[in-house]
Structure 1
Amino acid sequence: MTTNMLSRRTFAGLTLAAGLALPFAGSPALAADYSKDNPLKVALVVHGNLGDKSFFDSAAAGLRKADAELPVKTTVIEAGLDRGRWQPALADAADGDYDVIIGGTWEMNAFMAELAPEYPDKKFILFDDAPDFAAADLKNMMAIQYRTSTAAYLAGYAAAKVSKTGKLGEILGVEGATVVEFAVGFEQGAKAANPDVEVTRAVAGSFTDPAKGKELALAQFSQGVDVVFPIAGGTGIGALQAARDGGKLAVGVDSDQAVIFEASDPAQAEVIFTSVEKRVGQSLYDTLKKTIDGTATYGQVVLLGLQDGAVSISKNKYYEKVVPADVRAAVDEQEKKIVAGEIKVDTVMK
């Protein structure tokens, strides 16, 4: 055991002995009165850098909204691309003067699950993955997961309808559950719209390699694909560029990527006819709000989907331009049926 680890655990033990341990799972999150003069102090540890125009940027946007509207003070810590810096960055945040520490994805899961029991006086929020709550004492940790398949189904349905070749492509950063969750919904929706549609799936093995994303997209285009769906973070930017340069269509991911690009690269925005939005930022905002008012529950997984407004597809001017009115109406009908439970969307989430 390192000296730093020992000091953290000793501190945690003293905190428990002093009667400052937090409530058990299912109980209110925090009981203090927060105000702009006494804000809830929140740190988001990004295992990478902002600027991906999707996942991390959405999380940071949620914190900016919280800063503006709630009695919180937020800090974003960019740990960079060196994996060796991720755990120390999270540990430094836990050692710092923060009430809530936020991190995301399977790549931060084990680090956060290890730290949370050592800091029972703090709250930990993991988004887009979940630890085994039965395997450890994680009553001060919450995991937020997203049924993105429910929104991806709608994007797949629309993509199959607007495709002229009947061939769609997917580019996955990795084959983790949270990424495959998008793919299974997209494929199911595409098949519902066109039983003969062909969907080609490629795996980049990285979320930070735009050149690889572009290479994979170009390979798919050469095989007749005319709509590509990159689910690959920064790697996906290269695939979007390939669609722009090749006159193909693309489905964005995590955020409304057409709107993000329209000021800096209008040609890029034009080919992104919709995006599957995982509203990470909004979910974090909502969780912080509930933490402040004492209605949040920790020690468990919160699974959010189309019915909760946590995921959606972008229905903006680009969507209206590319997708015919009758197809848009059909997509709306599919959405209503999913929300009503009449359509059961495939999932890899447990």
Structure 2
Amino acid sequence: MRSLKKFSIVLLAILGISLLLYGCTGYDDNLQKVGMLVEHSVHDNAWSKEGYQGLRTINEELDTEVYYKEGIQTKQEVIEAVEEFANNGVNLVFGHSNTYGKYFVEIAPSYPEMHFVYFNGGEFGEDVTSLNFNSHAMGFFAGMVAGKMTDTDEVAVIGAFEWQPEIEGFYEGVKYQNPTANVHIRYVNSWNDTKKAMRLYEQMRDENADVFYPTGDLYSAQVLKEVSEDGLYGIGYVTDQSSIDEEQVLTSTVQHVSDLYVRITEKFNESKLRGGVLTFDFQDGVISMGEFSPDIPEDFQEKMNGAIESYEETDLLPNEQ
């Protein structure tokens, strides 16, 4: 069985966090301990790192023990991990992938003392909540930037899966800003297949694409590094990836996953979390655009900021107004 990872008092001491903050977890409300399941490693990619950071923040700010288990992919592995969580007093479980939805719905009735949370799915139950990012809008704004900054009128998406709303949003944003631009879309059919993503990048680069939006957890950074080396433009994904190249990375579509972890945990502790499908967007403060490249004209940066503010106020994208 894969080992259960726990942030203990010893770990807190190593991290330089005051032991006085740890103390007793004597909550008057619902929260006892928190667990998280990840399919691979918490250090694999930007998405996993954000979840891990969310768990650390819960540990530090909410003064509760947290656990995580890596490499949990099959139903049997989920069952064993949840049973281990239960034996350790965990009553709030995060599954850091849409894969966990169907498993959580099946096993939740056997753990009435637990609430289960996962991401980006439509399955739910009385004690199962799905958290969804409304990523269509962030894709739209990324598309506007790409449509503005392309010199060849050829832009490209290296998508993980066809169902990603940000891809459709990106297409619409490009066409809104630059109707003459062509949008090349190809799919890796994986969040993590960097080799295939790089092959697709090379193919579309050879087709004269000069702005790229890689929408996959593990391969996004690698594609952007290659974009930088080739003197082309890219748009970051999940986190602000401007540190790769502050000029060639035009902006990023940022999902503040760790903040959402804390918000949901607080909601559970206050007895306000219900089973269902919850959707979050710019208006909720958990999606934003990253830093703009200095290569983007200042007047267009102002236009983008105005469009985002208008969307936050009206729920209408520029092409809907």
Please state which band the TM-score falls in when normalised by the shorter chain: 0.7 to 0.9
Q: Distance in 2 between matches of 1:247 and 1:311?
A: 28
1:116 alignment partner in structure 2? 108
- Residue 125 of structure 1 deviates from its aligned partner by 0.8
Do the aligned partners of residues 36 and 148 (structure 1) sit closer, same or farther apart at CA in structure 2, a change above 3 Å counting? farther
Report the Cα distance in structure 2 between the residues aligned to 1:116 and 1:94, rounded to whole angstroms: 13
Task: Quote how far apart the aligned CAs of 1:337 are.
Answer: 2.4
Shift of 1:59: 1.2
Q: Tell me the SS of whatever aligns to 1:125.
A: strand
* Structure 1 letter corresponding to 2:105: A
> Which residue identity is paired with 1:44?
M
Match of 1:309 in 2: 285
Q: 1:342 to 1:66 in 2, by over 3 A?
A: closer
Say which of 148, 160, 184 aligns to 1:200: 184
1:155 positional shift: 1.3
Equivalent-residue separation in structure 2 for 1:233 and 1:62 (angstroms): 17
Letter in 2 for 1:159: A
- Which residue, 135, 160, 172 being the options, matches 2:159? 172
Counterpart code for 1:205: N
> Is structure 2 residue 264 aligned with structure 1 residue 287?
yes
Alignment of 1:130-209 (within 5 A): 130-131=122-123, 133=124, 138-175=125-162, 177=163, 180-209=164-193
Q: Structure 1 245/289 Cα, relative in aligned 2: closer, same or farther at 3 Å? A: same
Residues 142 and 300 in structure 1, CA contact (< 8 A), matched pair in contact too: yes
Give the Cα separation in 2 of the matches to 1:337 and 1:202: 31
Q: Specify the SS of the correspondent of 1:297.
A: coil
Distance 1:104 1:53, change over 3 A: closer
Question: After superposition, what is the alpha-carbon deviation per residue over 1:220-257, rounded to whole angstroms, capped at 9, x for unaligned?
Answer: 11111111111111133432232123221111111112
Matches of 2:141 and 2:178 in 1, distance apart? 13
Tell me the equivalent position of 1:4. Answer: none
User: In structure 2, do the counterparts of structure 1 residues 244 and 88 end up closer, same or farther at CA, with 3 Å as the change threshold?
Assistant: farther
Kept after mapping to 1: 8 A contact 2:210/2:233: yes
Q: In the aligned structure 2, how far is the partner of 1:342 from the partner of 1:282?
A: 22
Query: Relative to structure 1, is the Cα distance of residues 269 and 46 closer, same or farther in structure 2, using a 3 angstrom cutoff?
Result: farther
Match of 1:87 among 57, 62, 78: 78
Going from structure 1 to structure 2, the CA distance change for 1:257 and 1:76 (only over 3 Å counts) comes to farther
Give the Cα separation in 2 of the matches to 1:58 and 1:337. 28
Distance in 2 between residues matched to 1:210 and 1:119, nearest whole Å: 38
Offset of residue 94 of structure 1: 4.5
Cα distance in structure 2, aligned partners of 1:89 and 1:314:
39
Alpha carbons of structure 1 residues 86 and 272: separation in structure 2 relative to 1, 3 Å: farther
1:202 maps to amino acid: R
1:97-140 per-residue CA deviation (whole Å, 9 max, x = no partner) reads 21111003332211111121110101111122230x4xxxx212
Return 5+ residue gaps in structure 2 as ranges: 1-21, 27-31
Which amino acid in the other structure matches residue 257 of structure 1?
Q
Rate the CA distance shift 1:256–1:71 in 2: closer, same or farther, 3 A: same
Q: Distance in 2 between matches of 1:278 and 1:116?
A: 27
Structure 1 letter corresponding to 2:63? P
Q: Give the 3 Å change call, closer, same or farther, for CA 298–90 of structure 1 in structure 2.
A: farther
Structure 1 position 50, deviation (Å): 2.4
Q: Is the 8 A contact 2:248 2:293 kept in 1?
A: no
* Alignment partner, residue 294 of structure 2: 321
Change in 2 beyond 3 A, CA 1:227/1:89: farther
Query: Aligned in 2, Cα 1:103/1:312: closer, same or farther, shift over 3 Å?
Result: same
Moved more, 271-280 or 223-232: 271-280
In structure 1, how many angstroms separate the alpha carbons of the residues matched to 2:318 and 2:51?
26
Per the alignment, residue 304 of structure 2 pairs with: 331
Contact 2:36 2:93 in 1 (8 A): yes
Q: Secondary structure at the match of 1:174?
A: coil
Deviations along 1:130-164, whole A, 9 cap, x unmatched?
Answer: 30x4xxxx212211111011122111111211111
Runs of 5+ consecutive residues of structure 1 not aligned to the other structure: 1-34
What is the distance in 1 between the residues matched to 2:170 and 2:315?
17
1:129 aligned to 2:121? yes
Q: 1:93 to 1:151 in 2, by over 3 A?
A: farther
Comparing 62-71 and 221-230, the one that deviates more: 62-71
Pairing partner for 1:297 from 259, 273, 290: 273
Higher relative contact order, structure no. (Cα contacts within 8 Å, ≥ 6 residues apart): 1
Distance 2:246 2:197 in 1: 17
Q: How many residue pairs were aligned?
A: 292
Change (3 A) 1:320 1:240: closer
Asked if 1:50 is matched to 2:42, the reply is: yes
| Percent identity (aligned) | 20
Q: Which residue of 2 aligns with 1:255?
A: 239
